Amino acid sequence: MKIKRFLSALLILPLLLGLSACVESPSEKPAEEPVSADNAQAGEEPQTDENYETGDASLDDPRNGDDIGEDELLVVSFGTSYNDNRRLSIGAIEAALAEAFPDWSVRRAFTSQIIIDHVKSRDGEVIDNVGEALQRAVDNGVKRLVVQPTHLMHGYEYTDLVKELDKYAASFETVSVGEPLLSSDADFAAVAGAVMEDNAEFDDERTAVCLMGHGTSADSNGVYEKMQGVLREKGFDRCFVGTVEATPTLEDVLAAVKAGGLERVVLQPLMIVAGDHANNDMAGDEEGSWKRAFEDAGFETVCRLRGMGEMEDVQALFVEHARAAMDALAAPETTDDEGEEAPETLAAVDGSKVADGEYDISVDSSSSMFKVVSCRLTVQDGQMRAVLTLSGTGYSHLFLGTAEKAEAAPEEETIPFVEDESGAYTFELPVPALNTPVSVAAFSKKKQIWYDRELVFRADSLPEGALTEDAVIGQSLKLPDGEYQVQVELSGGSGKAGVESPALMTVKGGEPTLLLVWSSPNYDYMKLEGVRYDPVNEGGNSAFEIPVPAFDCELPIVADTVAMSKPHEVEYVLKVSSAGLPRP
């Protein structure tokens, strides 16, 4: 798959070298605005008495028009009030996506209401928030929706976006969400190469390139240390990564530069947009800024107010991620409300095999439009009941049975939602057995239609000791050494890849190993539980020997394909069946 490159001379900012030279776009001045371009804090109010110029807002396209059509690509960004940088970074990413997918209507949404209100009051530019953009899509009759965030990582912003989208999922026929910028090893390698190529003219023995990220209290903050490691692996020994609000800190970066015996420092944001943090925390003259700290330490300092969204290779990565999200729309699990396949199940476990008590349990759904985010299972005297919490509020009633029967049933036989303290919709229903499909009809509030769904309550998600001794599930198998033929199932990706089934499984010392043969010769490695495995064959379709940590449950795996213009990691789900294997 060829990824287009997007060249624009407007994206190249001039660099003026010299002692303590901080370079800015002609309209970019250090700002006093308290709004962060990456992580605005609750309660912040934008200033209205600005004494600096951020550029001409009229040159920016807010992409908030109607007449969308049936296919929409919604590009979601945190946002920035710096008009020129908004156009040159976020706007450039949106333009790249519009060029790559001319049959899709590209629209914009920002997650920061503070920035939206500030830009509207200062410049008169109207930008949709996520809820407004989604409602616009609903009102325009959009059927296929792809949402591509411009976030750096799977952090709080990305999680909040997915939660907001869940509220509207039932309003569209198909919905798919693209990955943030740094989502795979290939992404890290590509971004590292793009940033260093962008700073190629500073590649000399006396100069350090210091990249300033935002930082987060979430576990995803580890992306900064990982990026540092990738830069080292690629030979960029004079490139250092730090953050404004987490680790590595400015002090960590300063110490590393000093230890390297370097003389000059180039500062550049490791952020999509060169906004408030870049202008103030990095390039500001005030005490505590990165520029001031390096100047005070005696370093010649060059500041580059250039967000990563201005780099063509970064734009191309977002195109790849959006393309993968579009490909996912064609996969069976995300195609249409009707005709979706139910997940494979384990052997049935009835209530007599589960100890009395209350348990948090996982639930598989046959539809991506009917997502169960949590389930509380209560077992008493062999009877089981569950309280389901759905991801959105698009369904008002459930019915145990088919949609056809639900249409004819009196309302008192249906199960209405109960809103919990957080506003989520919950439903309580009996569970006849675990590991077996339960037919449920769901009533869409918007479309006023019953839809057929199937739920599987997973016995393998119960805590240890919850199952009685005669309840045997895949994870409890103790297999004798030898060779076995097992059924394997692959899902995920674009839906085009497959694996040979049955597959050869070898058990040695009680440890099962699977020979997994793909339907293509284009996979150069795969990962299971974070461990990399290389092919065991030369020629023919790619084959890997991997351990089998569990049977009859979903095992997330990653496979790297070289079939595209550049290597690309793709996420899949593998399931190894225990059917036909000896029981203890």
Dist CA 225 CA 212 (whole Å): 12
Check residues 158 and 392 and name the one with the higher pLDDT: 158
Structure tokens at 522: 């284009």
Res 74: pLDDT: 98
Residue 200 φ/ψ region, left for φ over 0, alpha for ψ in the -120 to 50 degree band, beta for the rest: alpha
Fold match, 185-310 / 474-576: no
Res 567: pLDDT: 80
Return the H-helix or E-strand segment holding 13.
none
Question: What's the pLDDT tens digit per position in 339-364?
Answer: 444 334 345 677 888 889 999 999 98
CA distances from 125 to 111, 356, 568 (A): 16, 59, 38
Give the residue-averaged pLDDT of 20-48: 34
CA distances from 493 to 154, 190, 327, 556, 558 (A): 19, 20, 8, 11, 10
Structure tokens at 222: 């580890």
Render 85-138 in DSSP notation, one character per residue: HIIIIIHHHHHHHHHH-TTSEEEEEES-HHHHHHHHHHH-----BHHHHHHHHH
Give the residue-averaged pLDDT of 260-265: 95
Res 163: pLDDT: 83
Contact indicator for 129, 110 with CB cutoff of 8 Å: yes
Domain range summary for the chain, segments of one domain joined by +: 185-310, 351-461, 474-576
Dist CA 444 CA 428 (whole Å): 17
Return the H-helix or E-strand segment holding 256.
helix 250-259
Instruction: Count the residues in the chain.
Output: 584
CA distances from 266 to 282, 284, 314, 388 (A): 11, 14, 20, 53
Contact indicator for 301, 22 with CB cutoff of 8 Å: yes
Res 145: pLDDT: 96
Question: What's the pLDDT tens digit per position in 243-258?
Answer: 999 999 999 999 999 9
Active site residues: 214
Render 461-493 in DSSP notation, one character per residue: GSPTTSB-TT---GGG--PPSEEEEE-EEEEET
In the Cβ-directed half-sphere of 259, how many Cα atoms lie within 13 Å? 10
Q: Which residues pair with 517 in a beta bridge?
A: 543
pLDDT band at residue 294 under the 50/70/90 scheme: very high
Dist CA 132 CA 370 (whole Å): 22
Res 576: pLDDT: 87
Find the angle CA(129)-CA(131)-CA(134) to the nearest 5 degrees: 105
pTM of structure: 0.54
Res 262: pLDDT: 95
Q: Virtual CA dihedral for 131, 132, 135, 139, nearest 10 degrees? A: 180
pLDDT band at residue 365 under the 50/70/90 scheme: confident
Res 542: pLDDT: 94
- Asked whether residue 475 carries a pLDDT value surpassing 80, the answer given is no
Please list, in sequence order, all residues whose beta carbon lies within 8 angstroms of the beta carbon of residue 184, skipping any fewer than 6 positions away: 558, 568, 569
CA distances from 40 to 94, 147, 156, 286, 355 (A): 22, 22, 12, 20, 48
- Asked whether residue 29 carries a pLDDT value surpassing 70, the answer given is no
User: Average per-residue pLDDT in the chain?
Assistant: 83
185-310 adopts what CATH topology? Rossmann fold (3.40.50)
For domain 474-576, give the CATH number: 2.60.40.1850
Question: What's the pLDDT tens digit per position in 39-48?
Answer: 333 233 333 3
- Is the domain spanning 351-461 CATH 3.10.180.10? The answer is no
